[in-house]
Structure 1
Amino acid sequence: MAMTTISPKFQVVIPKEVRDKLHLVPSQRLHVVEKGGVITLVPEVPLKSLRGVLKGMATTGLREKKDRM
């Protein structure tokens, strides 16, 4: 497990092994999510990279919001 330290300016360095694994680049934006005392950094993904991710998804059996009760 990689570890880091908060600097006096409240900056955090993401360890190299994590940056390489997630293909993070300088100036890339990260969303900071706090839930239950846990901080999670989520890389912003360009919409263009999501093209085709739902290809082959079943479209039958989907319900309308009013039918979900």
Structure 2
Amino acid sequence: MDVSTVSPKYQVVIPKRVREQFDLKPGQVLQVIALPGRIELVPSRSVSALRGFLEGENTFERESDRL
């Protein structure tokens, strides 16, 4: 288990192993989620980065009277 300490300025360093595991880069945005008894940091991904993340064939069919 990796641990980190909150600095006097309320900053937290993410351990190198975790940064590498999640491919975190400097300046990357993390969502901070407060849950009962814990805090979660979730890497935000741009909409363009999410394109194609679902597997399978595109079954979306547009109605013929739509553009």
TM-score, normalising length: structure 2: 0.77
Quote the sequence identity (%). Answer: 50
1:28 to 2:36 alignment: no
RMSD of aligned Cα (Å):
1.5
| Larger helix percent | 1
Deviations 1:27-61 (A, max 9, x none): 0010100111210000011111111123427x6xx
How many residues of Structure 1 are paired with residues of Structure 2 in the alignment? 58
TM-score, normalising length: structure 1: 0.75
Partners in 1 of 2:4 and 2:20 — Cα distance?
A: 16
Structure 1, unpaired ranges of 5+: 60-69
Structure 2, unpaired ranges of 5+: 60-67
